[in-house]
Chains A and B, each alone.
Chain A
Amino acid sequence: MSVTAGQGTPADTQPVLDIRGLCVDYGYGDTATHAVIDADLTLYRGEVVGLAGESGSGKSTLAYGATRLLRQPGVVTDGSVLFTPNSGARAAVDILDASPARLRALRWSDVALVFQAAMNSLNPVLSVQSQLTDTLAAHRKEMTKRERAERAGELLELVGISRDRLKSFPHELSGGMKQRVMIALALALDPQVVIMDEPTTALDVVTQRQIMEQIMSLRDRLGFSVLFITHDLSLLLEMADTIAIMYAGRIVESAPARQLFHAPRHPYTAALLESFPSLHGERKMMAGIPGSPPDMRRPPKGCAFADRCKFALPRCTDEQPPLAAPAIGSQDRQVACWLHAEDTLPERLSAPEPGSQPAGTAPETTGGSR
């Protein structure tokens, strides 16, 4: 790999969060909308996993379902979410089966969230300090008031805000600072997993870049794993180690970021990559993706992408393709597409993976790049 490898390399290959066969519905019975269908996602320790998809593809539902934060009428109907703590003393726990007490202990101290609308997630009538100490008071009862205040100051400095803003109210902070406070809040209890749902969407590009850098350097220092949810694939490609692409409630492809960028295997991924105009080179006409995503209340029978796919086969509209290893190249990645059951792949979907030897199987590169 030509990029500076090693920067984002996972410390070890032990999964910290393992989502298996997760299904989430909105509503019950025959009228239920299947928002997430049979999703598998593994988050290794210290890794940044990106989850990309269009609005309505189920990416946020997946994250909230997996942490049991989904409100009615959202129901998790199947699957397991295994959380493995890093200290050997505690056993792995299935979040979906955990008792309320166990769940309460686990939430925020092991798995924390940064919500989408950071601007509105802070309480407008409480100072930054009281919001930070409130979290500490609830989960760390042994701390004294002074220790909590001290820790709140540390947390602010951790995210690059000076300690004297502790007494500020949310309206006195800029959008970027509010987002940093949200990140500080998520890190208050030293979590092992941080789920970030579109954390930089409402921010300007420069602020977005600064916050992303901050998140990555904190990740390097504190060693937590990140599940990063966004619609902005171009941002993910720079930040994430592994990327999962969602379409119409299903994960259609997952692969290390570099491989996904240089050698997409699913037609949707390839088309999505061609939907972001480049900042370099010659200007070429780009077509985007024709059509629009399916209505999830009336999902198509076969592959949901079939009617927008330029490579669609007859069977695509009838049968759901399984998520499996691609026909060519590295076997560590997954793709759900019938084209991989054919003898030949279209040229666009058979590009060689970066760093792979032309003959043999590719040495796995999990190194991140940013």
Chain B
Amino acid sequence: MTDINTGTPAVPVVDRPRGEVVLEARGLTKHFKVRSRPQRGQRRTRGIVHAVEDVNLVLEAGRVTAVVGESGSGKTTVSRMLAQLTKPTSGQILLEGKSARSYGIKAYRRKIQMVFQDPFSSLNPVHSVRYHLARPLKLHKRAGGRDGTGKAVDALLARVKLDPPDQYIEKLPHELSGGQRQRVAIARALAAGPTVLLADEPISMLDVSIRLGILNLLGELRDQEKLAILYVTHDIASARYFADTMTVMYAGRVVESGPSLEVTDNPQHPYTRLLLDAAPDPERETPAVIQARGSAPSLISPPSGCRFHPRCPVAMPICSEQLPPDISVGEGHVAACWLRHADYQTNN
């Protein structure tokens, strides 16, 4: 069985110019209500999970924005809100400058499509590749008649490098490898003709050897079709490789954002540093030293001030009292940490 050789794309990894803003999130917040079942002799308790708090995010045409964080950091909730699968508690989503609410849901989905984590469950096992791709084409009226649909399906397969299309078009999902399935899932997302792709952990379920092929494919779509891509991941090394800008989330808040090389090579927030120290790195010459201990906090009663302060090795008194402001630490590079504040610079 042969997958398609991704080859080495001609486009080197370069600094891409800033593109036009396609999708913007302002002050995006999501609180989930939870109720616990009353235990004997106890009252029913109610709580609010502060899953995402005041997140600002900008997706630009022809650029990849990564959202990096551990499980429970709210990164998936952000992407679900951007896809309008989850309704934000507050905050605004702007698509091409207009409020997302002003679009009908179908018009919105035509512009914004998702690629899911697990290609083993996101494709329908009883339908062929043709069905998976023809259906969105018909639903979004992107192909005229039977002939037009057939050609459009072939074109989609060619765009995700499943060549020749005839070899794949009648296949059922179980007849494809993981990488091929994810390519079909990407082709399905492209069928609606979107300007934004929201990719939530698109490679974490795939084998190591085919992950880069999928990332490189998404990278080509970014460069050649000027798609704006949101790349949600827990893997900071792949975000460094693939993304132009990076946003690091911790416990529902953005702690650092900026150009991806800037963030990984010159991290300004202690949490970003922790993530980088903890990541496996064969080139590391001295053993990794993890200073922060403990685990992520409960989001029902999140810590006051900076949510990272209970684990932070360099926390100061103010960190538990006041929320750190976003402080500019470089060109386009922002960290929400009191240590970067002018009043506390002497400490560092």
Contacts and interface: CB of A to CB of B under 8 A. Distances in A.
Contacts of A361: none
Given A3-B286, A272-B209, A286-B241, A279 B6 contact: no
Contacts of A288: 6, 209-213, 216
A290 B290 contact: no
B208 A232 contact: yes
B70 A205 contact: yes
A27 to B, nearest CB: 19
Chain A facing B: main interface SS: loop
A208 B238 CA distance: 17
Interface stretch (B96-104, B184-192, B271-279): B271-279
A231 B204 CA distance: 12
Interface of A: 2-4, 7, 54-55, 174, 176, 204-210, 213, 231-235, 237-238, 261, 271-273, 275-280, 283-295, 307, 369-370
Interface in B269-310: 274-288, 290, 292-293, 295
Contact of B2 (A7, A231, A287, A291): A291
Contacts of B287: 4, 7, 369-370
Contacts of B285: 2-3
Given A3-B285, A234-B282, A272-B209, A287 B6 contact: yes
11 contacts: A2-B285, A206-B278, A206-B292, A275-B209, A279-B283, A286-B241, A288-B210, A288-B216, A290-B5, A291-B2, A292-B207
Grouping DSSP codes into helix (H, G, I), strand (E, B) and loop, the B interface class, with mixed when no group exceeds half, is: loop
A51 to B, nearest CB: 14
Given A285-B9, A285-B12, A288-B6, A279 B290 contact: no
Contacts of A280: 265, 281, 283
Given A285-B8, A292-B180, 8 more contacts: A3-B286, A235-B280, A275-B211, A277-B240, A279-B283, A288-B212, A291-B3, A293-B209
A284 B11 CA distance: 10
Nearest to A207: B295
A210 B70 CA distance: 14
Contacts, number: 149
B145 interface: no
Contact of A307 (B2, B177, B211, B212): B2
Interface string B236-273: 11101110000000000000000001001100000000
A293 B261 contact: no
B205 to A, nearest CB: 10
Contacts of B12: 285
Contacts of A205: 70, 234, 236, 275, 278-280
A59 B309 CA distance: 41
B240 A283 contact: yes
8 closest residue pairs by CB, A with B: A288-B212, A277-B241, A237-B282, A290-B5, A289-B209, A209-B278, A204-B70, A235-B280
B34 interface: no
Nearest to A287: B8
B282 A238 contact: yes
Nearest to A7: B287
A234 B238 CA distance: 13
Contacts of B261: 283
B238 A277 contact: yes
A209 B261 CA distance: 23
Contact of A4 (B4, B8, B70, B286): B286
Given A204-B234, A288-B209, A234 B5 contact: no
B108 to A, nearest CB: 32
Contacts of A283: 13, 240-241, 261
Nearest to B238: A277
Contacts of B213: 287-290
